[in-house]
Every structure is written in C-alpha cells, then in structure tokens.
Amino acid sequence: MNKLVSGAIGVEVPIAPNTNKVYLPDVAILRNRRIKHIDYCSSQSVRIKTPSGRDFISTHVPFITLVEKNTQAELIRNLPLNLLNPDDDRLFINKIIDFPHSFIDLTAIPENDKAGKAIYLVFWYDEPEVWGQIPDKNNRTEIHPLELKLSGKRTYFSENKTLLNKRFQNIILSLPANTPMGNEGINEIEYNDLFLTLRRGNIEFFSQIPLGIFYQLWTSYPLRLQNIVFDMQTSYIESNNPVPVTDKSVFFNVIIDDNKKK
Amino acid sequence: MFIAQNIACQPIIISPNDRRASIEKENLKNKRINRIIMYSSDEDSPAFSPFTNEMLAQAHEMDSLSLYLTLSDKQNVFVTDFDLMDSLLTDYSHRMIEILHNREIDLQKSFISYKIDENINYRSILLAYYFYQTKKLSKFNDEINGSETIYFEPQTEFEIIKFSKILNHTLKGKPIKNIIAGSGMGYLDITCYDGKRLEYIPVSFLREKETKSFWFDNLHIDFENSFYKNTGDGFNSRPVELTFIY
C-alpha cells in the first residue's frame, strides 16, 4: 500500500558514453526530505521519453545504491531498479538520502543501450510543514473533475473555484473519449509525452511527473497525497514532443478532503 | 480490505435518445453506500443481464460512451463527473480504482450521465452494483475457520439453481466471509436470515483473489432463498466451482 506523501519530483539522470556508474544529481528540493517511494520510469512502465527528450535504457536493468544521509551507510545496496515499477506495490524507502553519494550501477547495460540515454526516477517525499491530517477511519472525501485543454508545449490550468484551497488526496488521470465539457480527451499514446507540475507559491510540490503515473487503473494501490493544497493557476502540463498535442483535453478526477463538514 | 455487507444490482440502460440514467433502487433509500462498481461484457467473454438475459454492452463500447457518475447527499454534490471507466469490471478485467463513498446518497439528485456516439443507434445495458450498509459491520477476522468447495453443472441456459440443492449442509449456520469462484459465468443471489441481501453478484467478481477483491460481512445464508443463476452460451455450461470460506 502506498504511503502518504506531500509531493514528487522527477529526476533525470543522463548517461555519458563509457560510463558504468552514475551519481544522482543534487536536487535542492529533495535535500533533507524523507523519501517515501521511488518510481523507476522505464520503457516498460511509463512509456515516455524524459522531459529533455532522451530515450530510456531498454535492454537491461540498472541497480541503485542509496546512501542514508545521517549514517552515510549504503542501506539500500544494488537494488534492481525494476523493483521500483510504479504499477507494483511500491517499496517503502522511508530514508533521508544523500543524493550526491548515491549512485546507479550500469555495468550490466551494453554500451549501445546507454550512450545518450537517461534514467528517469520519481522521488515521492514528505514535507511535514504542509501536510494535513487524514483520519484513519471514515475519511470523507469529495470527487471533482479537473480538465485542461492542451494548447502547446506548456499549458497552465485555469482558475478553478471548486478546487480553490481544497486539500488534495489523489489525482486520477482518466482517458474518456469525451470529457464532461464535451472536449475530445487525450488517448493512451498521447499522454506518454506529457508531464505534470503542481505548484503552491514558489514551490513545485510535483515537478515533471510523467502523466502516466496518475493513470491508476493498472496500479496495485492508489496514490495517497497528504491533503496538499495547490495553486492551480501556476500549475501546468508540459510536453516533450516537438509537435505537442493541442485542442485535446487532459481529464482528471481529483479526490479532495471533506472531513471538516463532518 | 473491503467488506461487503449488502449489494444492490441495477441495470443501466444506455439509450441514444437520452443523456442520463437515474439511480432507481428503492432499497438504497437511507442506506450508507460504500462503493459503486459497474459490470459489462468483454469482447471474448460475453456477460448477460440476470434480469432480462440480454447481453451486456462490451467494454470497448463503454470507451466511446464517456460515462460519468454524479452523487449527492442531503447537503451537497460530493461526486461530480467521476469517470466510471475507472470502476468498470468485466470477466477478464479486474482493473479498477478503489473509491469509497461511505455516505447516504440522495437518489433523486444522483445520476449517471453519458455522451453516446452519434453513430450508435442501439440501446446498451450494463449493470451498476451498489455496495451498501444497513448496520454496523461485524467484527472481522480473515483467519479461515473452515471451507467447503462445491461443483455442479447447470443443465440449461439461464437455469436457476437453489443453494439448497447444491450446498453441503455442513455450511448451515456458518458465517460465510468469502466465496471464491474457480469457474462459472453466472450470478449468485444471496439472501441472509438477518436481512442482508446480495443481489446478482457476478461470479467473475469472485474469481480472483487480489488486492482489490472483497470479503463478506459474515453471511448467514438462507439456502432456500438463495440461488445460482446460470447465464450465457455453451461456453458457460462448464461445471461451476465455488469455494465457501467461513
């Protein structure tokens, strides 16, 4: 079962030629954050290119070693990345990671499958300053639609009074032929080029997350966001496709907290 | 882990002349609805309505329908335009997103809306299943105290076979907490001595044990008033295997 999280950051790890070991980048927003889950976005799970347009390694499985920040110990050593498939029951990592000392071993990957390619990981994290409490039992929720008609490389959400200051518990991507507003919906191929960024103030709580991760029909368990409030007007969906889809809509059902009205 | 106490089944008629289907189940009035699931046919595995024996719409037809659920309670609309494809099960596909409502709904203000393709000019049927509660759930323990597995072979299409004819009487008085189907394509219709009612549960709901499957709230089944309804074609005339766990 997925743990409650405050946000997720997509991290691209480019692979230089003749490299067998690549260290994770030092992502400022993930410093000192407790990482709950990690998703490995491979060509099998989320069929996309990275936001910068690089291809994924497709033949063999890399291994990740994570160094815990406080102890500097390699507490997770040589974990096959395919065990971090977002469709499976996610592993509960629950560690503050020293990113610059953590690495991915590429020894098993043939050279022709790594040069110029990249590994894309999504880190799901906690941020105690922003989270809200969710009752263990009888959690009351509402479900509302959230629609965005794509208009180019980057499309911002419009003002949504229904979702203003609402606390999000899940964001479910659906692929209807027609949205309730009568627009044509994106299809299973088109969402592979799209990434979601959700902001509140200056912070990107969700940054460049492959849209496919929010399509939860195939997953073992639903996502669990810890009552996070977003500023929809500064949040957006971007495409890595040189010819982005336009005039079609991305449709979500958003599950929001309704416990105050109890 | 989801515990089912009562289940109501309603055929939803999708008509090219309409845009909306009402939720019309009298026995849902003032009941706490926990969950709603839709059921339809698969291309390779047709399913039939237990009410009219008509074939249910196939899943690919549902794709073009764009079905949305709107639910209200006494105060407000708490579900708006939920895409029902995320709650649609077929014999082959048990993919769904677990959504729990856990409220009494105002039937008059709740509905299923759809947009039908202009090229479709025939009516379709699918089934809506409402999981509801009439009383507090019994204390639950998933430990298996015993089980009985039965096999039987329906002789005719759409045959109704009473539990009293097929169930081993050692199950009498036992609180049934799970039923697992090894084979069969019909429906179980269960009435319990304490008033619990589970209407036309598709056997395919009970076929797999997985994270999204459900348990029952200690069912004391009235064998004389509960039955298996066979549906379908020759493919479905194979023996039915049901395991009752208490």
Question: Are the C-beta atoms of B167 and B33 separated by less than 8 Å?
Answer: no
**Six-digit token string for B42:** 């698969």
Q: Shortest CA distance to A26 belongs to which of A99, A125, A110? A: A99
Question: Are the C-beta atoms of B120 and B195 separated by less than 8 Å?
Answer: no
User: What is the mean predicted confidence (pLDDT) over B136-149?
Assistant: 88
Q: Is the pLDDT of residue B172 over 90?
A: no
- The whole-number pLDDT of residue A46 equals 60
Q: Is the pLDDT of residue B84 over 50?
A: yes
Across the interface, whether the CB atoms of A217 and B97 are under 8 A apart is answered yes
CB neighbourhood size of A138 (10 A): 10
- The pTM (predicted TM-score) of the whole model is 0.87
User: What is the mean predicted confidence (pLDDT) over A9-29?
Assistant: 93
Is B179 strand, coil or helix? strand
Query: Which residue type does A83 have?
Result: L
- Residues on chain A touching B98 (C-beta within 8 angstroms): 222
Q: Is the pLDDT of residue A186 over 60?
A: yes
Give Cα separations from A236 to A174, A175, A206, A254 (angstroms): 17, 18, 10, 15
Considering A23-37, A208-222, B115-129, the range whose residues carry the highest mean pLDDT is A23-37
Q: Which of A140, A145, A174 sits opposite B85 (nearest CB)?
A: A174
Task: Give the C-alpha separation, B84 to A172, whole Å.
Answer: 12
Q: Are strands A7-14 and A203-210 parallel, antiparallel or unpaired?
A: parallel
Q: Which residue has the higher pLDDT, A89 or B110?
A: B110
**Six-digit token string for A24:** 């994770």
Q: Which B positions 146-185 lie with beta carbon below 8 A of chain A?
A: none
Residues 6+ apart with CB under 8 A from B176: B216, B218, B219, B220, B221, B244, B245, B246
Q: Shortest CA distance to B227 belongs to which of B204, B198, B207? A: B198
- Residues on chain B touching A261 (C-beta within 8 angstroms): 75
- The whole-number pLDDT of residue A262 equals 46
Across the interface, whether the CB atoms of B80 and A144 are under 8 A apart is answered yes
Q: Is the pLDDT of residue A230 over 70?
A: yes
Considering A60-69, A82-91, A127-136, the range whose residues carry the highest mean pLDDT is A60-69
Task: Give the C-alpha separation, A12 to A8, whole Å.
Answer: 13
In chain A, what is the straight-line distance between the N-terminal and C-terminal CA atoms, in Å? 26
- The whole-number pLDDT of residue A138 equals 75
Across the interface, whether the CB atoms of B66 and A216 are under 8 A apart is answered no
Please give the backbone phi and psi of residue B92, each rounded to the nearest 5 degrees, phi first: -90, -35
Name the average pLDDT for chain A: 90
